[in-house]
Amino acid sequence: MHMDYSSVWDNCLSTIRQHVNNQSFKTWFEPIRPVNLRDTALTIQVPNRFFYEWLEEHYVGLLKMTIRQELGDNAQLLYQIVNGQGERIANAKRNGLAAVLAKGSKEQPKGGYAPGQVDTGNIKNPFIIPGIKKPKIDPQLNDKYTFQTFIEGDCNQLARSAGLAIADRPGKNSFNPLIIYGDVGLGKTHLAQAIGHRVLELHEGKSVLYVATDKFTQQIIQSIKNNAVNDLINFYQFVDVLIVDDIQFLANKHKMQEIFFNIFNQLHQNGKQIILTSDRPPKDMEGIEERLISRFKWGLTADLQAPDLETRMAILLSKSTYEGVDIPQNVTEFICYHIKNNIRELEGALISLIARSSLNQRQIDVPLAKEVIKNFVSEINREITVEYIQELVAGHFELPVEILQGKTRKRQVVIARQLSMYLAKQLTDQSLKAIGENFGGRDHSTVIYSCKTVQDLMETDAIFKDTVSDLQRKIKMSLSN
């Protein structure tokens, strides 16, 4: 039966989804696009070389299995690696899979500026030191922002791995520039500066400079005022690794973009590393000139997503260790369950918790954490009852609560009902008889059977086990007032 490349790849994705978690699937497989199918060779398009290398290193076995299931033992998977230009240049083989590589073109810089003097603004080092060929550059890095304090999770794995690769070979890798983007408070500045710290550790003599876009804009304004734009550009040529934070703030500032365009071109052509952070990917940067957007796409764009519960707990544990404070696990779970999308808020809650404990001579416990959390979230806590467990489980399975108390024997309803009974037995003080009464007057033997069924499913079905664990965490966080 003839199949087109879209159908083949869709079938592959269905298989892949069963073998990886949702975050990994979203990060590594959703961006892939099928582009061609010739005999038993399927060509897929990936965003960049790093993406291709990551797939080959971590998922080559899974890819082989799925493509052979669809196209037979002689199946081949071809990669088309693209950037803004989308050009192909060569064929290669890695790990038994064929790859089509790509490279983009680069334009020469345009324009020139008159010489003059430049004000250093808020950068401690001078831009030009007469008689010194290469000025000493203060990197402007925060000592706390290192890889040692940056917690890895599925939410940041791509960006962190790219950062480590860049630090090993700054300017001599496929990820130049590196664009790190994500919502506020997810660690973009931390990761960007961690790369800078690692470069300084590994490469003696390399110069690193971190500058926020608003500070960079101030420098440009001052240099224009002093007729010293050329000196500003010349200074930046001494930087081996340039980190610019919040590049989206250059939007609609055409003169600033023109000067940054020249700095970018000269650094890139001289093999210097450029790292940019933004709250959005290049394709969504409104008010930024297309010639800059195209250059941003030359390297790697990596996003930071909201961390899952385990990663949030690891982050909070790391920060509490740094502060020299021991936080009980139930307090850590409580805070991390309620603060989900902003690491800065997580850190703020920890600082507030420590301050209240110290100033008021109070023990760090859940009641104190509740007082702190009220300043960060609008709704917390709830008593753990059989009724609440039913409500939570029914919501997870997208069922009405009443159906758990009824007589229907549909498989999904039965599983939800049995799971609710199991959780009620584990997390409340209710007797088996009392739990059964909450499920339409069922007797204690039904509750016992349900608990045994759930335990058996957990031993044989990893996905179901994860579902149970996730619901248990949510319920544990719902403490009574």
For the domain that residue 64 is a member of, what is the CATH number?
3.30.300.180
Is the whole-model pTM more than 0.75? no
Lowest-confidence region among 51-55, 89-93, 309-313, 426-430: 89-93
How many domains, in total, are found in the chain?
A: 4
Classify residue 107: in a domain, yes or no.
no
Tokens of 9: 């790849």
Query: What is the pLDDT at residue 314?
Result: 86
Residues 216-220 have a mean pLDDT of 89
Out of 260, 289, 304, pick the residue that ends a domain: 304
Residue 478 — very low, low, confident or very high, per pLDDT cuts 50/70/90?
low
Are 153 and 278 part of one and the same domain? yes
- Looking at residue 7, its amino acid is S
Classify residue 110: in a domain, yes or no.
no
Are 297 and 316 part of one and the same domain? no
Query: How far apart, in whole angstroms, are the C-alpha atoms of residue 172 and residue 164?
Result: 13
Are 172 and 285 part of one and the same domain? yes
- Overall residue count recorded for the chain in this entry: 481
Query: How far apart, in whole angstroms, are the C-alpha atoms of residue 288 and residue 257?
Result: 8
Are 466 and 393 part of one and the same domain? yes
Residue 7: phi, psi to the nearest 5? -65, -40
* Crossing angle of helices 462-477 and 411-427, rounded to 10°: 50
- Looking at residue 262, its amino acid is N
pLDDT(109) > 70: no
Residue 36: phi, psi to the nearest 5? -165, 150
The structure tokens 């590994």 sit at 202
Out of 267, 284, 304, pick the residue that ends a domain: 304
Are 276 and 182 part of one and the same domain? yes
pLDDT(398) > 60: yes
Query: How far apart, in whole angstroms, are the C-alpha atoms of residue 419 and residue 450?
Result: 7
Higher pLDDT among residues 126 and 472, named by residue:
472
pLDDT(89) > 80: no
Are 255 and 184 part of one and the same domain? yes
Classify residue 349: in a domain, yes or no.
yes
Q: Which domain holds residue 15?
A: 5-102
How far lies 378's CA from each of 22, 307, 354, in Å? Answer: 28, 20, 21
Are 243 and 333 part of one and the same domain? no
Are 283 and 314 part of one and the same domain? no
Tokens of 184: 């506020």
From 455, 431, 457, 456, select the one nearest 444 (Cα to Cα): 431
Question: How much is the mean pLDDT over the chain?
Answer: 80
Handedness of CA 324, 328, 333, 335 (dihedral sign): negative
